[in-house]
Amino acid sequence: MLHLRLGIIAAKCNPSQSTADEVKVIHIVIDKITGDPCCAYCTCTVGFSETCGHIGATLFCLAELVANGVKTYESLPTCTEQLCGWAEPKGGKSEPDTFDNLKKKELTAKQTSDS
């Protein structure tokens, strides 16, 4: 009954450097009772060694989610629902406006610069 104890985690990771692959695909086989990873695979160049950074990063991310009490992935925010965590937002200096108003402002600015 060992197969009932095992679960597969499938994940995708954006590459840290520009490569031909758009995303790295990761599969981790994990023991559901102990939480220990049994084996793993990643599509990166060292993915067959089961020790690439993408697998490690996925396991650390899962450990953090479990530590924070997240039970299902549906409760997680999507990547577009949160600000970029590694860059400071610069703050926009313009306000949203309609296209007609923007066109009028552009024509006015052009007329004053031509004078």
Residue 98 lies in a domain: no
- 99 domain-assigned: no
Q: Is residue 103 part of a domain?
A: no
- What does the buried/exposed string (b/e) look like for 19-44 if buried means 16 or more CB atoms within 10 Å of the residue's CB? eeeeebebbbebeeeeeebeebbbbb
Is 21 a member of any domain? yes
The residue length of the chain stands at 115
pLDDT score of 24: 85
> What pTM, to 2 d.p., does this model score?
0.55
pLDDT tier at 82, thresholds 50, 70, 90: low
6: Cβ contacts below 8 Å, ≥ 6 apart = 29, 30, 31, 32, 38
Q: Is residue 93 part of a domain?
A: no
Query: What is the pairing mode between strands 24-31 and 6-13?
Result: antiparallel
**107 lies in a domain?**
no
pLDDT digits (tens, 9 = 90+) for 50-73: 778 888 888 888 888 888 887 766
Mean predicted lDDT score pLDDT of the chain:
77
Q: Higher model confidence: residue 87 or residue 42?
A: 42
Nearest Cα to 55, choosing from 77, 68, 32, 37? 37
Residue 59 lies in a domain: yes
The tokens describing 14, both together, are: 């954006």
Beta bridge partners of 58: none
Count up the domains in the chain and report the number. Answer: 1
Q: What domain range is 34 assigned to?
A: 1-79
Q: What is the pLDDT of residue 7?
A: 84
